Amino acid sequence: MLTPYLPYPLLSGGQIRTYNLLKNLKDKHDITLYSLIKDEEERKHIPELKKFCKKVVLLKRTKNPWALRNILLAGFTANPFLVTRNLPYRGSHIIGKELKNGQYDLIHAETFYMMPNIPKTSVPVLLVEQTIEYLGYLSYAKKSKFWPVKPLLYIDIAKIRYWETYFWKKATRLVTMSEEDKQYIQREVPNRLQIDVVANGVDMDFFKQTPNMLPKDSTVLFVGTFKWLPNVDAVEFLVEKIWPLILDKIPTAKLHIVGFSPNKKILNYGKLPSITISGDVTDIRTAYGSAHVLLAPVRSGKGTKYKVLEAMATGTPVVGTPLSVEGLDVTPGKEALVADTAEALACSVIRLLQDDKLRNQLAENGKRLVERKYEWRVISQELDRIYQELGKS
């Protein structure tokens, strides 16, 4: 298995997904994990991953994404910046030696930009696309107001699209997170017939232990890593457009923004008396357990939906955009309230904060949905089925 991050600690959606899949597949497969790291300090997490993996190998990529090497490679080769920053030194050579010396039935690559690290091989390659990358970057570029760099952004996005599509065709088999992503790829690559949907999941045993610590003041929660640009856009939309409408109706309401790597602008939001910013939460369950509503106003990208699934698992009712629940078997009004404008999202949050019965009903329905369809044990069985089919091919 090749991943562009170490699957521990559990700070991002990708890490959560890979860690839980490894945990649930370890008894059925011998797994060799190759992961990219930015800092030697990350090596201390190897023992945690060796619980699930026969072997763990770490490949170093540049700590600073804007390193001169990455910029030059992106500027003077056909590779986009997303690929060059995930190209470890001699990565393809090292993985090639492993494939030559080991007996492997399958290569599992998380994200298309790990694919250039795989040398020519007869071993079947399963490409797992957590999101369609170029759509997320395109959406961000369209919203960017920094006009001098827009042409460069669009050139790089064109490269991402080319290589992402190229590897969709080259992989032996594809996995997407949602039916929508599957259909999109099938339109882009009409002959790409073998695409499976393996959704994301939740560790219900873990989240069932969430302590109920609801504060006196109505509290709205946002969760998401800020290394993912759509989350930055979502928080700006929330604070600048939605939150004033909520405060107008419920002046004592509080907003808790939780996310790894908040930028300076997001940290400055914490200076407002009604807003708290937490860049590093030891146990995310404490955030869910102390919130009346999760608000997910995502407007771009096709992220992992973990914040929605986790909130439902903890019994925290959800308000979100159609994009925030895309790919999940959510019926608007039953498991979550769904809206797509600042005014409608604010009204939905206000409605939930003022209606205990509706809040409890959504919480119960959301929890049942996760238990039925999105528990990691259920999700891993589907991936195991694909492994077995590919391994025999």
Give the lowest-confidence range in 86-95, 298-307, 328-337, 369-378: 298-307
Q: Which residue has the higher pLDDT, 199 or 5?
A: 5
Are residues 55 and 183 located together in one domain of the fold? yes
21 C-beta neighbours (distance < 10 Å), count: 25
Domain CATH for 210: 3.40.50.2000
Are residues 309 and 193 located together in one domain of the fold? no
| Cβ contact 91:59 at 8 Å | yes
Task: Characterize the bridge pairing of strands 55-60 and 32-37.
Answer: parallel
- Picking from 256, 265, 274, the residue whose alpha carbon sits closest to that of residue 232 is 265
Alpha carbon distances (Å) from 324 to 40, 188, 367? 35, 23, 17
Amino acid identity of residue 309, one-letter, is L
Are residues 218 and 164 located together in one domain of the fold? no
Are residues 312 and 168 located together in one domain of the fold? no
In the predicted model, is pLDDT for residue 194 greater than 90? no
Are residues 18 and 156 located together in one domain of the fold? yes
Are residues 187 and 267 located together in one domain of the fold? no
Are residues 170 and 307 located together in one domain of the fold? no
Task: Characterize the bridge pairing of strands 254-258 and 318-320.
Answer: unpaired
Q: Percentage helix, strand, coil, to 5, in the chain?
A: 50, 15, 35
In the predicted model, is pLDDT for residue 304 greater than 80? no
User: What is the residue-averaged pLDDT of the chain?
Assistant: 93
In the predicted model, is pLDDT for residue 303 greater than 70? no
Are residues 13 and 113 located together in one domain of the fold? yes
Are residues 330 and 354 located together in one domain of the fold? yes
* Single pTM value for the model: 0.83
Are residues 173 and 294 located together in one domain of the fold? no
CA distance 388 to 393: 9
Bridge partners (DSSP) listed for residue 324? none
Eight-class DSSP state of 334: T
- Tokens at residue 219, please? 């509290």
CA distance 270 to 70: 34
Angle among Cα 254, 200, 144 to the nearest 5 degrees reads: 60
| Cβ contact 259:312 at 8 Å | no
Given this model, what pLDDT does residue 19 score?
A: 95
Are residues 219 and 303 located together in one domain of the fold? yes
Helical segments of 291-330, H only: 306-314
Are residues 10 and 143 located together in one domain of the fold? yes
CA distance 46 to 55: 9
Mean pLDDT for 210-235 is 92
Given this model, what pLDDT does residue 242 score?
A: 98
Which tens digits make up the pLDDT trace of 327-378? Answer: 899 999 999 999 999 999 999 999 999 999 999 999 999 999 999 999 999 8
State the pLDDT confidence band at 131, using cuts at 50, 70 and 90. Answer: confident
- Name residue, tokens 């970057």: 137
- Name residue, tokens 């929605």: 308
Where in the sequence is the domain holding 56, given as residue range(s)?
Answer: 2-201+376-392
Give the lowest-confidence range in 35-49, 301-315, 316-330, 333-347: 301-315
Task: Characterize the bridge pairing of strands 293-296 and 318-320.
Answer: parallel
State the pLDDT confidence band at 302, using cuts at 50, 70 and 90. Answer: low
Task: Reply yes or no: is the peptide bond before residue 9 cis, omega within 30 of 0.
Answer: yes
Which tens digits make up the pLDDT trace of 153-182? Answer: 999 999 999 999 999 999 999 999 888 899
State the pLDDT confidence band at 149, using cuts at 50, 70 and 90. Answer: confident
Number of independent structural domains in the chain: 2
Helical segments of the chain, H only: 13-25, 46-49, 68-76, 81-84, 91-101, 133-143, 150-170, 179-188, 204-207, 229-237, 243-249, 264-269, 284-289, 306-314, 342-354, 356-373, 376-392
- Tokens at residue 138, please? 């395109």
CA distance 210 to 286: 7
